[in-house]
Amino acid sequence: MTKPIAQIALPVPMRRLFDYSLPEPLRASALPGVRVQVPFGSRRLVGIVVTLKSESDVPTSKLRNITEVLDSEPVLHALHQKWLHWASQYYQHPIGEIYQAALPVSLRKGLPAEQQHIKMWRTLGDEDAAESLKRAPRQKALYQLLKQQPLTDAALKQEFSPQVFKGLEEKSLIECYQSDYEPDTQWFKHLDMGPAPRPNVEQSLAISGINQLYQQFGCVLLEGVTGSGKTEVYLQCIEPLLKSGHQVLILVPEIGLTPQTVQRFERRFGLPVGLLHSGLTDNERLSVWQKARSGELGIIIGTRSAIFTPLARPGMIIVDEEHDHSYKQQDGWRYHARDMAVVRASLENIPLVLGSATPSLESLNNALTGKYRHYLLKQRAGNAEPVKQQMLDVKDQPLKYGLAAGMQDKIAQHLQRGQQVMLFINRRGYAPALICHHCGHVEMCQRCDTSFTLHRRQNKLQCHHCGDAKPLPRACPSCQQPQLTPVGLGTEQLEQGLTELFPEYRAVRIDSDATRGKQKLHQLLEDIQQGDYQLLIGTQILAKGHHFPNVSLVVIVDVDAALFSADYRAAEKLAQLITQVSGRAGRAHVAGELWLQTHNPSHPLLQDLLNNGYQHFARYALSERQFANLPPFSHQALVRAESHDPRQAFEFLSQARTCFADTDGVLLTGPLPALVEKRQGRFRFQLLLQTAKRTGIQQALNRRLPQMESLSLAPKVRWSVDIDPQDFS
Ligand SMILES: Nc1ncnc2c1ncn2[C@@H]1O[C@H](COP(=O)(O)OP(=O)(O)OP(=O)(O)O)[C@@H](O)[C@H]1O
Ligand SMILES: [Zn+2]
């Protein structure tokens, strides 16, 4: 007998499921994993059936009815559901919000999940009208194409503008119709393989090791210096999988930045690659989701949330640049896509490959302790030489636009040899602050604890924490004198300075200000490839994964700020950044060098990193973490709270602390102010929980969260729990 009650996950911030009764006619179709529409208060919500049952704690008369079943088959299969329930436990986050996050936006809204029809075009009538279209060559071209066979709207739109269709439609020569959608899931029978280089010894070892894990769970850390051919290893590992019809999901930090990587996958296998990134419309996203689920796509490449893409025949998950911080969601449900990937791979019983030149200390520790298989690529692939890394001591040196004289000479030398130079600085805008030379007043954001950044191009001051902006004042708002002076250096100023210092060369700036708009970045990257620019200035966007063969010098203008941070992960982050940035140099035929400007050339971190490389540094950093009992040798959760009245957030966390007071094995730190204490008008505090075992965090929170939720201040402050926090700002 079919069960009359369904437990539903609803997109509401409550840590529970909701019981609804199933009217008789809906019972056969309400399977676990399908979407349903239900009344909730005065609203209608789209939820997902989790389980069916015969009885509820709520009296039957009080149960409300499910109004509609939206799917004929589950949008989340059983394994996926199991995975999400694990996540709800692990991240201590409401299950309904997790289910919601795992679906594309269109499906959250209740739109159809199946790709039922596709829009096609065909010609009308028998006679050939080409003659009458002589004066409209585009219309004639489209007409003749369709005369041969009907074609899909999606394919034609790439080539013909809407006017062309309209013209022909008005002449009643073509019409549009809906055709039944038949997915092509047999792509693997006609792969069109492109040429592949012969792998070197290190690559071969990695490839054969990874391929031993065919349809079997296992994690692999591929630790390879930049340019060592990690991508080539991925390509060769997935080849046998694709040939046997399996699908591969690849996570990357940011797609807009790696068009070349995407092309490499397409060319190697002659297959379209499904792309998932933030620049897509809801419809485009849904389409990739559908094609991945039906098995129509062999390769899916996407950013963080692509980890939720369903696969009909999963073969492997790859997380490229696994150390990258974009894999951690920083608001709402704060999951880590890499960690989600580990659990997914184990449930689906497939291998997971984590690749990086600068692995996170977490993954490295798992590799060193034997939990993960570990393959090292120590040499750059092909003919590329290792990058020479050096420091320039800028103590007591006059700096012009942040550059010492010696550095300016170096840049000139490389430019004169016809090579490109990349300069890296971590701050966008013109200058991080504007100070009054007369009275010392600094314009501060009223809502945050920070100075306004000067953006000279746009003639404005902007807060980089809350986005608040205002026009550049002509005089000091405090003393009315006109001597307002920029302090510090940003990308905009460096660009201006370089144009002044090297007028015969062209400079380009790559930061989030300069690259707004979908195509802009793409275009700039292409122009750089073409050699249109010789001086490339950027923030960390420029550090990620590009391949600019003609860059021979990379300069990091200032590393000092990061050397003295209160965040225990700062050293790791800085080392990753320096190594990644330096990996941009000398990737092909020209030798590359990296120069760091610093006031602290004897700093042990810099010494170790530059003399011994990231692999050595990371192992040393791990021993330090172990000594200090920090992650990955302990496990953390961060309770954050913020409020307009600083006392409320602080008091809430003080009370929260007492909830944990008698919990054994939990080390409590705080409440302490966050690194950025005030943001958008709210004061921010943190309480850190630390335990020796991973499960300790979950046990403590399982027992104490309900108590915290019932604290009198709980509804009055904004608070959240962050498991495995990465960022304490
Ligand atoms: N075995 C090989 N023989 C010759 N060339 C190779 C080989 N493997 C890789 N290459 C080439 O070396 C260059 C770098 O390789 P690849 O992009 O795979 O490295 P990577 O480690 O993924 O780089 P990144 O540092 O950007 O992550 C590419 O141009 C690639 O085609
Ligand atoms: Zn602000």
Which is it for the CA torsion 113, 116, 117, 118, positive or negative?
A: positive
Rounded to an integer, the average pLDDT of 286-294 is 93
3-state secondary structure at position 493: helix
Q: Return the structure tokens found at 471.
A: 């026009």
435 vs 427: CA distance, rounded Å: 17
pLDDT at position 83, please? Answer: 97
Residue nearest to atom 23 of ligand 1 (CA): 227
Q: Are residues 202 and 174 both part of a single domain?
A: no
The pLDDT of residue 383 is 66
pLDDT in tens, 71-109: 999 999 999 999 999 999 999 999 999 999 999 999 999
The pairing of strands 484-487 and 507-510 is unpaired
CA 16 to chain centre: 29
| Ligand 1 centroid, distance to 584 Cα (angstroms) | 12
Q: Quick check: CB of 203 below 6 Å from ligand 1?
A: yes
Confirm or reject: Cβ of 429 under 6 Å from ligand 1. no
| Ligand 1 atom 30 nearest Cα | 229
Q: Pick the ligand that lies closest to the CA of residue 680.
A: 2
- Averaged pLDDT, 562-583: 83
Which tokens go with 425?
């600085």
Residue 287 has pLDDT above 70, yes or no: yes
Is there a domain that residue 712 lies in? yes
pLDDT greater than 60 at residue 316:
yes
463 contacts: CB under 8 Å, gap ≥ 6: 445, 447, 448, 450, 452, 453, 469
Summarize the confidence of residues 385-401 as an average pLDDT.
Answer: 87
Closest ligand by atom to 546 CA = 1
Residues 253, 349, single domain; the answer is yes
Residue 641 lies in a domain: yes
The answer to whether residues 656 and 703 belong to one domain is yes
Nearest CA to ligand 1 atom 27: 226
Ligand nearest to the CA of 444: 2
For residue 261, the CA-to-ligand 1 centroid distance in Å is: 11
pLDDT tens track for 443-452: 888 888 788 8
pLDDT score of 562: 76
Task: Identify the nearest ligand to the CA of 261 by its number.
Answer: 1
Task: Confirm or reject: Cβ of 227 under 6 Å from ligand 1.
Answer: yes
Q: Which ligand is nearest to the CA of 679?
A: 2
Q: Are residues 236 and 363 in the same domain?
A: yes
Report the side by side order of strands in the sheet with 682-691: 667-679, 682-691, 635-643, 718-723
Please give the distance, rounded to the nearest whole angstrom, from the Cα atom of residue 233 to the centre of ligand 1: 9
Centre of ligand 2 from the C-alpha of residue 2, in Å: 56
228 lines ligand 1 (CB under 6 A): yes
Would you give the end-to-end CA distance of the chain in angstroms? Answer: 55
Nearest to 556, CA basis, from 354, 391, 315, 444: 391
Identity of the amino acid at 294: S
Mean pLDDT of 44-67: 91
Ligand 1 atom closest to 547 (CA): 26
The residue nearest atom 4 of ligand 1, judged by CA position, is: 382
CATH code of the domain in which 144 resides: 1.10.10
DSSP string covering 179-245, please?
Answer: EE------GGGG--PPP-PPP-HHHHHHHHHHHTTTTS-EEEEEEE-TTSSHHHHHHHHHHHHHHTT
Over residues 560-584, mean pLDDT? 82
How many angstroms separate the alpha carbon of residue 221 from the centre of ligand 1?
17
Burial group, residue 324, by CB count within 10 angstroms (0-12, 13-18, 19+): buried
Domain final residue, candidates 573, 602, 624: 624
From the list 404, 344, 421, 348, the residue with the least C-alpha distance to 586 is: 421
d(CA 93, CA 720): 9
* Rounded Cα gap, residues 311 and 309, in angstroms: 6
Confidence of residue 113 (pLDDT cuts 50, 70, 90): confident
Ligand 1 contact via 200 beta carbon (within 6 Å): yes
pLDDT at 335 exceeding the cut of 90: yes
Give residue 547 CA to ligand 1 midpoint distance, Å: 10
CATH number at residue 589: 3.40.50.300
Q: Which residue has the higher pLDDT, 499 or 662?
A: 499
279, part of any domain = yes
Whether residues 618 and 642 share a domain: the answer is: no
Is there an atom of ligand 1 within 6 Å of 270 CB? no
Question: Do 598 and 391 contact (CB within 8 A), yes or no?
Answer: yes
The residues facing 556 across adjacent strands are 424, 596
Distance from Cα 63 to the centre of ligand 2, integer Å: 47
Examine the domain organization and report whether 219 and 355 are in the same domain.
Answer: yes
547, 645: one domain: no
Question: Are 349 and 396 in a shared domain?
Answer: no
Whether residue 403 lies inside any domain: the answer is yes
pLDDT tens profile 420-451: 999 988 888 888 888 888 888 888 888 887 88
Between the ranges 33-42, 555-564, 565-574, 696-705, where is the mean pLDDT highest? 33-42
Residue with the nearest Cα to atom 18 of ligand 1? Answer: 229
Same domain membership, residue 524 and residue 499: yes
Please give the number of the atom of ligand 1 that sits closest to the Cα of 234.
18
In a domain, 525, yes or no: yes
Ligand 1 pocket test, pick from 205, 226, 228, 232 with the greatest ligand atom count within 8 Å of Cβ, gives: 232
Percent of the chain with pLDDT over 90: 50
Specify whether 427 is located in the same domain as 556: yes
Percentages helix, strand, coil for the chain (3-state, rounded to 5) are 35, 25, 40
Residue 460 lies in a domain: no
Quick check: is 472 in a domain?
A: no
Which residue has the CA at smallest separation from atom 26 of ligand 1? 545
Annotated binding site: 436, 439, 445, 448, 463, 466, 476, 479
How large is the average pLDDT for residues 671-688? 89
714 within 8 A of 652, measured Cβ to Cβ: yes
Total domains in the chain come to 5
The CATH number of whichever domain residue 715 belongs to comes to: 3.30.70.600
Distance 470 CA to ligand 2 centre (A): 11
Mean pLDDT score of the chain: 89
366-394 burial, b if ≥16 CB within 10 A, otherwise e? bbeeeebbbbbbebbbeebebbebebbeb
Does residue 549 have its Cβ closer than 6 Å to ligand 1? Answer: no
Q: Name the more confident of 588 and 541.
A: 541
Based on the domain organization, do 267 and 176 belong to the same domain? Answer: no
| pLDDT tens string 5-28 | 999 999 998 889 999 999 988 888
Judged by DSSP in three states, 326 sits in helix
**Residue 16, CB half-sphere, CA atoms under 13 Å: how many?**
4
Last residue of a domain, one of 82, 108, 134: 108
Centroid of ligand 1 to alpha carbon of 270 (angstroms) = 19
354 conformational bin, left if phi > 0, alpha if psi -120 to 50, beta if neither: beta
> Which residues are CB-neighbours of 532 under 8 A, at least 6 positions away?
506, 508
Distance (Å, rounded) from C-alpha 173 to C-alpha 170?
8
Ligand 1, atom 9, lies closest to the CA of 229
Residue at a domain's end among 65, 91, 108: 108
What is the three-class DSSP state of 105?
Answer: helix
Q: Which residues are annotated as a binding site for Zn(2+)?
A: 436, 439, 445, 448, 463, 466, 476, 479
Question: Does the structure show a pLDDT above 60 at 1?
Answer: no
- For residue 199, the model assigns a pLDDT of 94
What range defines the domain where residue 83 resides?
Answer: 5-108
- Pairing, β 682-691 against β 373-377: unpaired
Cα distances from 428 to residues 512, 541, 577, in angstroms, run: 8, 11, 16
* The pLDDT of residue 390 is above 70: yes
Most informative mutation of 204, 205, 231 for ligand 1 (most atoms within 8 A of CB): 231
- Measured distance CA(702)–CA(28) in Å, rounded: 35
CATH for 45 = 3.40.1440.60
Q: Which of 221-225, 288-292, 295-299, 611-615 has the lowest mean pLDDT?
A: 611-615
Alpha carbon of 537 to ligand 1 centroid (Å): 24
With a 6 Å cutoff on the Cβ, whether 231 touches ligand 1 is yes
Q: Is residue 226 within 6 Å of ligand 1 at its C-beta?
A: yes
Residues 213 and 272 in one domain: yes
- The pLDDT of 540-568, averaged and rounded, is 79
pTM value?
Answer: 0.86
pLDDT score of 36 more than 90: yes
Of 214, 213, 136, the residue nearest 173 (C-alpha): 136
According to DSSP, residue 566 is labeled S
Residue 478 falls inside a structural domain: no
Residue 536 sits at the vertex; the CA angle it makes with 531 and 541, to the nearest 5 degrees, is 115
Q: Find out whether the beta carbon of 579 lies less than 6 Å from any atom of ligand 1.
A: no
Centroid of ligand 2 to alpha carbon of 466 (angstroms): 4
